[in-house]
Amino acid sequence: MTANALLELQDVSVTFTTRERTVHAVRDCSLELHAGEVLALVGESGSGKSTLARLIAGIVAPSRGSVRFRSQELAPVARLDERSLRRRIQMVFQDPDASLNPAHRIATILSEPLIVRGQGSRAAIAQRVAELLERVRLDASLLDRRPHQLSGGQKQRVAIARALAMDPEVLIADEPLSALDVSTAASIAQLFQDLQRELSIAMLFISHDLAAVRRLATRVAVMHAGQIVETGPAALLDEPAHPFTRLLVASMPTKRGALNMKLVEEIDAIPALKYAAGACAYRERCIERALVCATAPALEPLHAAPEHSVRCHVRRS
């Protein structure tokens, strides 16, 4: 970890246990986020991305590991202090319908966090609400409406405005585009880009949309089976080192609208392999697996590019 990181996760794990089974949703993840940068977190569904985001936001507790914000530990501090620190980390969820109270008007939804913060008089709060609406490119005429009276894009903009009401230093966006149509998603992606430029806010941007990731991200981290398997500058998506990242990129439509079916078919054709404890988590699906993959690799820098790290025995060269 570097000394100037705004947010640091060190060997963080999240385990959920039921009567039937134990799920290791996040396994020994280490990440850092710097002031003013956009870190994109990508991976297939079920890889642990949203759990990791909720852990950072304080919604899910880590089973082990360290979460630090401005060099202060978030987990063990007293409740009041933790609330003060957590206020600086806000989250925009995938589904605005689930995160906005349907019984409240938009004015109330945006005023509540300001009242909790003790923002000031009614006039001061009303002025701040108007500024928030303008920041997310919404008209003040929407203030008297309820969420069900807004379009999907408008509701997501309200959710973003509510997060900004707390003046966060870190904004977590968990799949904020996936519930939207293509044109609306493009406009929301543009809004995130504008906000990052205008506010210099640090963002953790979780998305399946690699086109939006390429457009927004400073750095990229790739998750598979609860682990970070590759991380580095956003350009790693053009030359991925880990076989899973190669599959992820190959599975996305290119600018011409076609998939890289050759690689997808090669992976589908590999012989079945049973999971082995202590082995690389991607070994079962990997077309490049070797004998050394029977032991789990560590996330380590590439020799030729120290800023680019990969969890792979074969590709680390």
**CA 288 to mean position of chain CA atoms:** 28
Contact (Cβ atoms closer than 8 angstroms) between residue 210 and residue 252: yes
For tokens 């995160």, the residue is 99
Boundary of a domain, candidates 167, 197, 223: 167
pLDDT per residue, tens digit, the chain (317 aa), is 566 789 999 999 999 988 888 888 999 999 999 999 999 999 988 899 999 999 999 888 899 999 999 988 886 555 545 566 778 999 999 888 888 999 999 999 999 988 887 777 889 999 999 999 999 999 999 999 999 999 999 999 999 999 999 999 999 999 999 888 889 999 999 999 999 999 999 999 999 888 889 999 999 999 999 999 999 999 999 889 999 998 888 877 654 444 566 766 776 777 767 777 889 989 888 888 888 899 999 999 998 888 999 999 987 55
Within this chain, do residues 135 and 64 fall inside the same structural domain, yes or no? no
Side by side, the strands of the sheet bearing 227-233 are 89-92, 170-174, 202-206, 38-42, 219-224, 227-233, 309-310, 300-301
**pLDDT at residue number 257:** 45
Q: Is the residue at 317 inside a domain?
A: no
**pLDDT at residue number 256:** 44
Q: Is the residue at 232 inside a domain?
A: yes
Within this chain, do residues 79 and 212 fall inside the same structural domain, yes or no? yes
Could you give the number of structural domains in the chain? 2
- pLDDT, tens digit, 9 for 90 and up, residues 298-308: 999 998 888 99
Q: Is the residue at 2 inside a domain?
A: no
Within this chain, do residues 64 and 174 fall inside the same structural domain, yes or no? yes
Distance (Å, whole) CA 123 – CA 217? 37
* Ramachandran class of 312: left when φ > 0, alpha when ψ lies in -120 to 50, beta otherwise: beta
How much is the pTM?
A: 0.89
Distance (Å, whole) CA 13 – CA 185? 32
Within this chain, do residues 303 and 253 fall inside the same structural domain, yes or no? yes
Distance (Å, whole) CA 283 – CA 286? 5
Q: Is the residue at 316 inside a domain?
A: no
Boundary of a domain, candidates 115, 137, 167: 167
- pLDDT, tens digit, 9 for 90 and up, residues 244-278: 998 888 877 654 444 566 766 776 777 767 777 88
Contact (Cβ atoms closer than 8 angstroms) between residue 216 and residue 192: yes
Angle separating helix axes 106-117 and 152-164, nearest 10 degrees? 10
Within this chain, do residues 274 and 140 fall inside the same structural domain, yes or no? no
**pLDDT at residue number 260:** 63
How many residues are there in the chain? 317
Within this chain, do residues 186 and 153 fall inside the same structural domain, yes or no? no
Side by side, the strands of the sheet bearing 64-69 are 22-33, 7-17, 64-69, 72-73
Boundary of a domain, candidates 120, 145, 167: 167
Nearest partner of 297 among 247, 233, 224, judged by Cα: 224
Could you give the residue ranges of the DSSP H alpha helices within the chain? 49-57, 79-86, 96-99, 106-117, 122-135, 152-164, 182-199, 210-216, 243-250, 261-268
Within this chain, do residues 182 and 135 fall inside the same structural domain, yes or no? no
**pLDDT at residue number 6:** 93
Domain that holds residue 115: 90-167
Rounded to the nearest 5 percent, the helix, strand and coil shares of the chain are 40, 20, 40
Which string of DSSP letters, residue by residue, matches 106-140? Answer: HHHHHHHHHHHHT--SHHHHHHHHHHHHHHTT--G
**pLDDT at residue number 2:** 62
Tokens (6 digits) for 185: 């998603």
Distance (Å, whole) CA 74 – CA 79? 10
